[in-house]
Chains A and B, each alone.
Chain A
């Protein structure tokens, strides 16, 4: 009888101790906000371009997490972002929604400085403060800060902003994907070699 009592008491005590421990840690290590939103946000390209229909990357991340928004509405991120999101959220990766734009090569804004009238409209439009200038002064884009979001092009009253593809330099050049040769037959590619080999 006493053995049963001891067992019950020990289990009760353990339950109490762990309960207190869990209760304390749930207060002590409480996570503010939804960490999933942060994770989704960190996967988005942060161009803040609004092509997804949300006013920035974070609102889109919130919509994805809270409102089951589709994950294929981010053209700047492209398929890579969709796959990363699908991976994170454990959903099927779907192709990019063409309605919101197509995946394009990376571009940066470039102001034709001779034509700039110094209206500051593009400065106000830039979500990352990548345009430098003052009223009635020529503006210019800080290329290293430009996300290529396109938002400055529309407000320009004299259309002096171009979106130019980023030039490849020796440092930014990349190895291309190797051509898969599995489908090729040796004699198809260079019949000369095969003939030589026969001789």
Chain B
């Protein structure tokens, strides 16, 4: 037989003993039906297939059991009929000896085909559909890597395919699977080639076959006579590795596939001979790839021959069938002796790429002798079919100079093992290359990942920066709005200040009310949210419903409290206003009395008329008259009493109560005006001067009024002093305190999150604290001032220290409160021991300060007593201190309650305290 095309040559190559004759003696026999098959989900590079059956499902032979995922992936079909017993990791034929996901089918012994039908005329089908048909049959390259065949068949779409090469070289020793296939099923082979040729439309088809398979060549020629195909059967000299894709291309066409490219880039597509039969069976008979020819050979094997084996058959079954002598078997090799892998576990199954099992004896497959030093003989270079420098690559791989290895085209190495075969020092060269390749791939992967991570990191930084800027802008916007609102408020305050003084107390109570209202609203919203969350949780049956319910109840209580507080506050102004107008009271009483009198008269008249006419309900009328008489008498009595009671007060001509109210109003006005003025000065407003003048005027007025009051008091009996000052201040302090707390919390949060704004916040907190202190000092001064007033005649030297002490007490109180609040804010059951300790310490300090203060007070009282001052005052002061203590205690006990609630109570307590002071003042001015 003469070649019609010129056979080229390739560099290097070796001639190992062929050992093919042993297994060609007997025809292909069909291996017995395995009792169970193990189908690895991944039998090739690419992604593992996804199982479409579940454990316990009955499957028929040829049924799809796992579906391809992605482009480089192949369908897997049941190779026997039976039951899926497991989908679990199982040892697979892989160099690592690792386990991988496998689908295990237990045979039912019937070997029942699923309904299947081939295509009557595949040439009528569009190419895409035909390729899809082949893809569905799970056909994968049966030569080496098991690359899904449909991917190669698609190459005609984007490449110009001139030459189709069918690889029948089968250059590795021992393997005869393709040889026997061609001998016995040449028609199938040619039928498959026809289908591929139909799809790729190549100009030239060549079958590359080594000259050590004369029978196969004859069979092919015989079959070709009956085939419409126009192809060249090219006989190549036997040389390992002529079956390598690139080597065969070089042999047949003289074209070298460039490094890093695929044959299709030079217009060539290669297919394995086994794959052609698989395609033929899939298209003509509709049979998916469920079996393949496997050579079982080696000196330990009883029957050295080829079997048609179901995919998934365990090696053990096959070895048993060919009566392998286990005691002689030293190594079991899957694939050829050059590129195959040694396996230990016989439970590993046959897969689509398993072409040979060699049960080698120790003489046949001796263990690799220990490697010796490289003697730089250069034989490896001479046999390398890829024209590389194996020795250099070995040095680089050994020294882990992977970059250099890469630059010496390590990735063009086909790992054929020719260099190792000829190495006189027995250096495992291929292992070194595999190791180096793996390391380089890993490095590349890491680099790729690192680049990806950097992109993500930079994107994140950018996002954070953007968010920060946005936040800052929003904050600025809010600040501007707040400033505008503040200015509007100031204007309003100025307007009010210039209007009548009678409106002041009401105006003063407005913000308080507003706050309470918003508190109530917030509580309501919280409650609603919690309710929603609870409903949600109940719907979904989530955990933690109980916790949610508890929270809801708590919120309900809080909401109710807030609303109650709001309602109380609304009612309060009315109550406060009544005692300030005793004059109107008298007037009212007078008018009441007059009305009662008129009513009585009318009723009497009616009664008289009724009696005259004799009709109507005389009795009722009589009763009415009697009632009215009583009322009238009562009213007149009340009026006269009130008049007589008031007479001593009114005689001097000035009503002290009225005066006091005036003073209070004025005082708050002055305060407000002063604040407004200060703010104006700070903001550099031009109205500041005017404001200053206004403040002066108001102060003058206040002084005048106070003077008046003093005179009135001097002449009249008693009059309560102004309390507005201290109360207002105290309220201010409370507000400040909450602000400080909030700021501190925010600051802490900021510090925790490591925000750069923490420093600024800290400064802000400091400022707020300073403000608070000033306010507290002020309060203390005022309190001290009132005390001083009370003890105006007593020794003044004691006051200073008392003042200081009181201040300390108040500071302690605030600190304690703060700590308690912190504690209250902690979730229940998660008490911070450090905080508890702090609170205890603070309380002790507070108590100590209180005690000191009390002692000082007592001292002062004694001093006062010496000078003839009433001891009662002392008692009152003590009571006041006690009130403060109880207040703190109450705050402690109600730490769970809403913050606002506590504040409110404290406000009330402070008022009570101030009133007490007042009464003292009253007594002393008596």
Contacts and interface: CB of A to CB of B under 8 A. Distances in A.
Interface of A: 41-42, 44-48, 56-57, 80, 124, 127-130, 145, 147, 168-171, 173-178, 180-182, 184-186, 189-190, 193
Secondary structure class of chain A's binding surface, majority of residues: loop
Interface string B663-686: 000000000000000000000000
A80 B443 contact: yes
A184 B370 CA distance: 6
Contacts of B98: 168, 170, 173
B532 to A, nearest CB: 13
Contact of B94 (A130, A145, A170, A178): A170
B369 A173 contact: no
A186 B368 CA distance: 10
A128 B370 contact: no
9 contacts: A128-B456, A129-B459, A174-B435, A176-B435, A178-B431, A181-B369, A181-B370, A190-B367, A193-B366
Contacts of A176: 435
B753 interface: yes
A128 B369 contact: no
Interface string B437-467: 1110111001001111110110110000000
B373 A175 contact: no
A46 B372 contact: no
B456 A129 contact: yes
Contact of B42 (A44, A127, A170): A170
B454 A46 contact: yes
Nearest to A173: B96
B432 interface: yes
B434 A175 contact: yes
A190 B456 CA distance: 54
B95 interface: yes
A147 B431 contact: no
A158 B92 CA distance: 40
B779 to A, nearest CB: 41
Contacts of A57: 454, 457
Contact of A173 (B94, B432, B459): B94
A177 B435 CA distance: 6
A76 to B, nearest CB: 10
B424 interface: no
B100 interface: yes
B371 A181 contact: yes
Contact of B451 (A46, A47, A173, A175): A46
Given A48-B457, A129-B460, A124 B367 contact: no
Contact of B442 (A129, A169, A174, A185): A174
Interface string B299-336: 00000000000000000000000000000000000000
Interface string B411-440: 000000000000000101001101101110
Contacts of B398: 180
A41 B454 contact: yes
Most chain B CB inside 10 Å of its own CB: which residue of A45, A127, A174, A178 = A178
A115 B672 CA distance: 55
Given A174-B438, A193-B366, A128 B100 contact: no
Contacts of B369: 181, 186
A93 B138 CA distance: 51
Contacts of A124: 753
Given A124-B753, A175-B431, A189-B370, A147 B439 contact: no
Interface in B369-416: 369-373, 398
A128 B453 contact: yes
Contacts of B96: 168, 170, 173
B373 A47 contact: no
A46 B457 contact: yes
Contacts of A145: 452-453, 456
Contacts of A186: 369-370
A66 B432 CA distance: 39
Contacts of A147: 449, 453
A174 B439 CA distance: 8
Contacts of B435: 174-178
B438 A175 contact: yes
Given A173-B94, A175-B435, A185 B453 contact: no
Nearest to A174: B438
B432 A178 contact: yes
A44 B454 CA distance: 10
Given A170-B96, A178-B431, A44 B450 contact: yes
Nearest to B46: A171
Contacts of A128: 453, 456-457, 460
Interface string B81-118: 00000000000101110101000000000000000000
A56 B371 contact: no
A46 B453 contact: yes
Interface string B331-347: 00000000000000000
B866 to A, nearest CB: 63
A172 to B, nearest CB: 9
Contacts of B459: 129
Contacts of B438: 174-175
A173 B459 CA distance: 32
Which of B100, B434, B443, B450 gathers most chain A CB within 10 Å? B450
A177 B433 CA distance: 9
Interface in B447-502: 449-454, 456-457, 459-460
Contacts of A185: 370
A45 B442 CA distance: 13
Contacts of B456: 128-130, 145
Residue of A124, A145, A170 with most partner-chain B CB within 10 A? A170
B488 to A, nearest CB: 37
A195 to B, nearest CB: 13
A125 to B, nearest CB: 10
Given A170-B94, A170-B96, A175-B438, A56 B457 contact: yes
